[in-house]
Amino acid sequence: MMGLALGMMAVCRAETPPLVPLPVELNESEGAFELGPETVIRPDRTMRAEAEILAGELTRVLGAKPKIVPAELRILHPSQIEVIVNPDIDQPAEGYALRISPKGVRIVGKDAAGAWNGTRTLVQMLPVEKPESGKVELRSLEILDHPRFGWRGMHLDVGRHFFPVEDIKKFIDWLAFHKINTFHWHLSEDQGWRIEIKKYPKLTEVGAWRDSSPPYGNRNSDDGVRYGGFYTQEQVKDIVAYAKARHVTIVPEIDMPGHMAAAIAAYPEFGNDDIPGYAPKVETRWGVHPYVLAPTETVFQFVDDVFTEICALFPSEYIHMGGDEAPKVQWEKSSRVKELMKREGLKNGHDVQSYFVKRVEKILEAKGRKLIGWDEIREGGLSPKATVMSWRGEAGGIASAKEGHDVVMASNSHLYFDYYQEPAAQALAKGVEYEAIAGFLPISKVYGYDPVPAALSETEAKHILGVQGQLWAEYFKDYKKVEYHAFPRMAALAEIAWTPLERKDYQGFLARLEGVMKHYEAAGVNHGPVYREPKRETKDGSTVSTSLGIYQQFWPELAYDGRDETFFWADRELKTDDHFTIRLAKPLENDATVTVQTGGPASRNGDRLENGVLEVSTDGSEWTKVADFSGGKAAATAPAGTSQVRIRVTKPQTNWLILHEIRIE
């Protein structure tokens, strides 16, 4: 198993183990089970493959791979982990019972997915490192657990940026770790077609490559570097099998009729080539582009051919057709489309969109699959059996559920993980490579989301299949950036998708998340911050004063609050003798090093201090210069007895001032 670390177990019996998502029911009892090199895994015949994965994970902790002994042999072992399926247990689909006693661990699933979910809970209770004794003590408990929703999904866009097979497998590992069972794989975009289609080789020969991409920090420019990549069908088969072994269903998306510039560049005859100025290319900039598929019989044959190969690769019940952000401009100019509208009685572009969606639905139905699409597929009238993925808030989901359609909630207000997870200026202060598309979505807001809108009745709410987080990749140039945006918000998603509403508790979640974060760190996951709303106070009761005004809520206290991610930001140009002064809570007992850093990419102008001095005082009236600022930085020794530290401007400057955490150590 790739990239998966094991979790740290809380040892205090008064604490809930650091499990995310929180189980439906957890009861502790006396005693403990000692897991060691002699422990064996006893799966039934349906769980042998899953037991092999579990054995690999236990190897990291025990130093040796546990033996696997088939449960059917009925040989009792003094130290064992049973993994079995019993459809007669009192649990819904994907549910399980996990019992730890001094005699061993017993995991019983309602089905194979349930038993697998039980192994994920066990993995989260294991230490991240091999203990010196070579043995792990697991306290006795019983868990009865099942998911709130059947669709617990994460989306990943590989069209804007391409991620290698090994990274996709890492992503799947972590989905399974969090009991997320659906991977929505966004495989086509204006900026790149990412999957081999044998009948249409130019889709990857031409459509998988673009001439340039916008660099971080300047989204309206070009880096001039050819970029691309795609997955062969053999690679896709490998990934699908890898996901299936971990009970993750891959739902592929081929986005149409919009977001098709790359495909149309490869095969221009599939676009609206009867309009003026027609010149398709693989797009190099982000955003919504005008090139859409023409609603012709030739195109519908192309769609049929593509989905024939897609369905052969992906066994999922659902196939995602996108359907979002399809501009109608080219259709409105096309004489062929005008003839179609007249022939079919279509009044406008929205009706053409509906016509297109319904034709695609028939194609998928003929292959035994269900159509799912973004909420724009409602335009002009929703196809009778279509499932809606509601991303533009909740309105599309509410309307669809009221009409009797199934819905997956994917609202951009709470579930778009390509948004900043801390204020944009705070993120960009770390560097332009932290640029995100827009928005601000802290983990607390993700956790606070309820996928069932209050506007739905109990009957209508049954149409909510589940919930999904989105990772659009315009600003993910590598997989490390994917990780930064996905984690730890994926953990919050897992809990809102699994845990009963009445069991949710944000403070309890944060406490358990500390253990989960150890999993990330042990595996080298480049996770983002758990954003905490800053308070206007210093770290130790010291006070600050400044002659400068304050930009937004970047208060002066944030430059001395003990948090590297926060900072002070002035709201005007600097004048001679402007100051920023810290009155320490108590004078320094010994000499201390003072370091100050100003400026940063949160501001287009840098906003660093060009001319200034660092000064100290024992009484606030007599000041001693200890350093000059150079390149926006200053460092010096403050002598014992120092009670105040001051930054003073020595020459005017037009730029404002960003002041990062001041260190006095």
What value does the mean pLDDT take over residues 304-311?
A: 98
Domain boundaries, the chain: 25-145, 151-522, 543-664
% of the chain exceeding 70 in pLDDT = 98
**Pairing of β 151-157 and β 182-186:** parallel
Question: Can you give the pLDDT at residue 11?
Answer: 34
Assigned token pair, 322: 């996108």
Closest CA to 370 of 406, 396, 400: 406
- Mean pLDDT, the chain, as a whole number? 95
* Cα angle for residues 309, 153, 489 (degrees, 5° grid): 135
SS3 (DSSP) at 248? coil
Topology annotation, domain 25-145: Chitobiase; domain 2 (3.30.379)
* Least confident piece of the model among 4-8, 19-23, 209-213, 475-479: 4-8
* Least confident piece of the model among 64-78, 170-184, 326-340, 611-625: 64-78
The DSSP result for 160-186, as a single string, is SS---HHHHHHHHHHHHHTT--EEEEE
The string of pLDDT tens digits covering residues 36-60 is 999 999 999 999 999 999 999 999 8
- Please state, in angstroms and as integers, the Cα–Cα distance from residue 318 to each residue in 21, 26, 302, following that order: 25, 34, 19
- Report the alpha-carbon distance of residue 418 to residue 408 in Å, rounded: 19
Does residue 21 have a cis bond before it (omega within 30 degrees)? yes
Assigned token pair, 603: 């501001």
CATH superfamily membership of 151-522: Glycosidases (3.20.20.80)
Assigned token pair, 203: 């889709």
- Please state, in angstroms and as integers, the Cα–Cα distance from residue 664 to each residue in 582, 627, 640, following that order: 11, 14, 12
- pLDDT > 70? residue 15: no
Assigned token pair, 127: 């230490």
Q: How far is C-alpha 335 from the geometric centre of its chain's CA atoms?
A: 43
Question: Can you give the pLDDT at residue 367?
Answer: 98
Q: Name the architecture of domain 543-664.
A: Sandwich (2.60)
- Report the alpha-carbon distance of residue 258 to residue 255 in Å, rounded: 7
Strand partners, 416: 470
For 409, residues 6+ apart whose C-beta sits below 8 A from its C-beta are 390, 394, 397, 415, 451, 453, 464, 466, 467, 468
- Report the alpha-carbon distance of residue 204 to residue 202 in Å, rounded: 5
Element containing residue 42 per DSSP (H, E): strand 40-43
What value does the mean pLDDT take over residues 446-453?
A: 98
SS3 (DSSP) at 593? strand
Helices (H), 217-322: 233-245, 261-266, 297-313
What value does the mean pLDDT take over residues 214-221?
A: 96
* pLDDT level of residue 517 (50, 70, 90 thresholds): very high
- pLDDT > 60? residue 7: no
Closest CA to 43 of 79, 69, 75: 69
- pLDDT > 60? residue 8: no
What value does the mean pLDDT take over residues 526-543?
A: 95
The string of pLDDT tens digits covering residues 589-605 is 999 999 999 998 888 88
- pLDDT > 80? residue 75: no
- Report the alpha-carbon distance of residue 420 to residue 453 in Å, rounded: 24
Strand partners, 167: none
Residues 174-193 as b/e (b if ≥16 CB within 10 A, e otherwise) read bbbbbbbbbbbbbbbbbbbb
- pLDDT > 90? residue 140: yes
Closest CA to 378 of 364, 390, 360, 365: 390
* Cα angle for residues 660, 663, 665 (degrees, 5° grid): 170
For 119, residues 6+ apart whose C-beta sits below 8 A from its C-beta are 50, 53, 54, 83, 107
Q: In CATH terms, are 151-522 and 543-664 the same topology?
A: no
The string of pLDDT tens digits covering residues 626-654 is 999 999 999 999 999 999 999 999 999 99
What value does the mean pLDDT take over residues 267-289?
A: 97
